[in-house]
């Protein structure tokens, strides 16, 4: 029993020493007192004192039990809450409205779909109550998830008003291509506390038409959980609608084929006869502005037990004119991300 008490005394004393700086700073005072009392209860040299003056605590087992309870209470009190956010929302900076509203009001809910022309967004984050007045800045990262190395497109440290629960950040002139992105915000403070980040994904689609179509998709289609596993661009001289290997540079005489592989076309979906739509969007980039322009849009319906779809251009032998192009595959389901592949055509 005495060995156990010496061991507990050493542990509680170590806990007190680790918290001395915080106690002297006026923090965790109750925490330190609880550990001190717990240490006194099990410290063997104090056994005679308890036996003579506090007979109710002369039982060794009772004092060990009380010491452990007080130490646990001290640990709970001593753990400071992490700095974090309750929520994060991403919205267009300007929304169509019939009355003047603030960006704070506009961004009261997530809007995770954007058209490529929407290059200004508002991020609204709500601080956790325990983080109020402690967070003085936010580290903001925007990452392109389609980028193989997931490099951050934007990395900023933004000062904020620590007295407001709601933080609104407006970002302008963003150069976002079609794809999937993730916003991550991390609270910054002079307080030495754990910092928990908050993340939110958003998707950039080729046009406002695509945003509306995805937003207004029928409930049955939204239950379809398939995604695009791969999009390949190649030359298809045989015309069999299948790419043996990707080819990023083609000539004007070649048939250009976009080959899409759908992952799990029946997963988590009760086939209702009409599957979701797969859309191929073909774009050419202007030589002077390098801005993309849609020159062809073709939609096919996903069929049961079929996972490979191909769409060729130039079967009549005309090919495509020289230039820079891309093709985007859009699967009209709730969970699918757009997939984009650039290619070029030369003489």
pLDDT digits (tens, 9 = 90+) for 65-123: 777 777 777 666 555 667 788 888 888 775 444 444 455 555 655 657 888 877 788 88
Q: Is the pLDDT of residue 24 over 60?
A: no
Q: In what order do the strands lie in the sheet with 166-171?
A: 85-92, 121-127, 166-171
Q: Exposure of 312 by Cβ count < 10 A (0-12 exposed, 13-18 middle, 19+ buried)? A: middle
- Residue 98 has a pLDDT of 41
Q: What is the DSSP string of 103-169?
A: HHHHTSS---EEETT---EEEEEEE-GGGTTT--EEEEEEEETTSTT--EEEEEEEE--TT-SEEEE
125 close to 198: Cβ distance less than 8 angstroms: yes
Tracing tokens 């055509």 back to the chain, one arrives at 345
Which pLDDT value is given to residue 121? 84
Model confidence at 271, in pLDDT bands (50, 70, 90)? very low
Q: Which residues in the chain are classed under CATH 2.60.40.1930?
A: 85-205, 209-346
Least trusted range by pLDDT, from 14-28, 193-207, 243-257, 305-319? 14-28
Structure tokens at 234: 């190649």
Looking at residue 39, its pLDDT comes to 75
- Range of lowest pLDDT (4-18, 85-99, 126-140, 278-292): 4-18
Q: What pLDDT sits at residue 109?
A: 58
pLDDT at 198: 87
CATH class of the 209-346 domain in this structure: mainly beta
Fold (topology level) of 85-205: Immunoglobulin-like (2.60.40)
Distance CA 211, CA 213 (A): 5
Residue-level pLDDT at 23: 45
Instruction: In whole angstroms, give the CA distance from residue 178 to residue 279.
Output: 14
Number of H-type helices and E-type strands within the chain: 8, 16
Distances (CA, A) of 285 to 177, 290, 324, 329, 347: 13, 5, 6, 17, 17
Q: Is 284 helix (H, G, I), strand (E, B) or coil?
A: strand
The contacts of residue 231 (CB under 8 Å, 6+ apart) are 258, 259, 260, 261, 327, 329, 339, 340, 341
**Integer CA distances (angstroms), 253 to 242, 313, 314, 320, in order:** 18, 11, 8, 7
Mean pLDDT of the chain: 75
For range 200-223, the mean pLDDT: 71
The confidence score (pLDDT) of residue 220 equals 45
Residue 43 has pLDDT above 70, yes or no: yes
Check whether 45 has a pLDDT greater than 80.
Answer: no
User: Which one is predicted more confidently, 227 or 79?
Assistant: 227
**pTM recorded for the entire structure:** 0.67
């Amino acid at each position: 029993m005495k060995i156990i008490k010496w061991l507990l005394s050493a542990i509680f004393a170590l806990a007190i020493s680790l918290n001395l700086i915080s106690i002297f700073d006026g923090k965790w005072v109750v925490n330190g007192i609880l550990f001190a009392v717990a240490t006194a209860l099990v410290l063997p040299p104090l056994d005679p004192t308890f036996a003579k003056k506090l007979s109710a605590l002369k039982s060794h087992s009772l004092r060990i039990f009380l010491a452990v309870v007080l130490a646990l209470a001290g640990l709970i009190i001593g753990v400071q809450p992490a700095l974090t956010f309750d929520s994060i929302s991403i919205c267009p900076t300007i929304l169509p409205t019939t009355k003047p509203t603030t960006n704070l009001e506009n961004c009261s809910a997530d809007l995770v779909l954007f058209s490529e022309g929407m290059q200004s967004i508002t991020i609204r984050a709500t601080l956790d109550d325990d983080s109020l007045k402690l967070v003085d800045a936010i580290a903001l990262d925007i990452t392109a998830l389609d980028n193989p190395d997931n490099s951050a497109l934007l990395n900023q440290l933004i000062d904020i008003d620590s007295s407001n629960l709601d933080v609104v950040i407006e970002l302008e002139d963003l150069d976002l291509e079609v794809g999937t992105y993730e916003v991550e915000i991390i609270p910054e403070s002079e307080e030495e506390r754990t910092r928990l980040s908050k993340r939110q994904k958003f998707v950039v689609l080729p046009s406002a038409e695509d945003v509306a179509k995805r937003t207004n998709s029928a409930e049955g289609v939204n239950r379809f959980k398939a995604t695009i596993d791969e999009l390949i661009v190649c030359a298809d001289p045989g015309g069999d609608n299948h790419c043996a290997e990707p080819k990023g540079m083609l000539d004007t005489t070649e048939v250009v084929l976009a080959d899409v592989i759908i992952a799990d076309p029946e997963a988590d979906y009760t086939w209702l006869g009409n599957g979701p739509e797969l859309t191929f969007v073909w774009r050419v980039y202007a030589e002077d502005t390098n801005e993309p322009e849609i020159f062809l849009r073709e939609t096919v319906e996903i069929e049961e037990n079929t996972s490979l779809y191909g769409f060729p251009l130039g079967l009549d032998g005309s090919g495509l004119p020289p230039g820079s192009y891309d093709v985007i595959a859009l699967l009209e389901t709730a969970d699918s991300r757009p997939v984009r592949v650039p290619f070029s055509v030369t003489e």
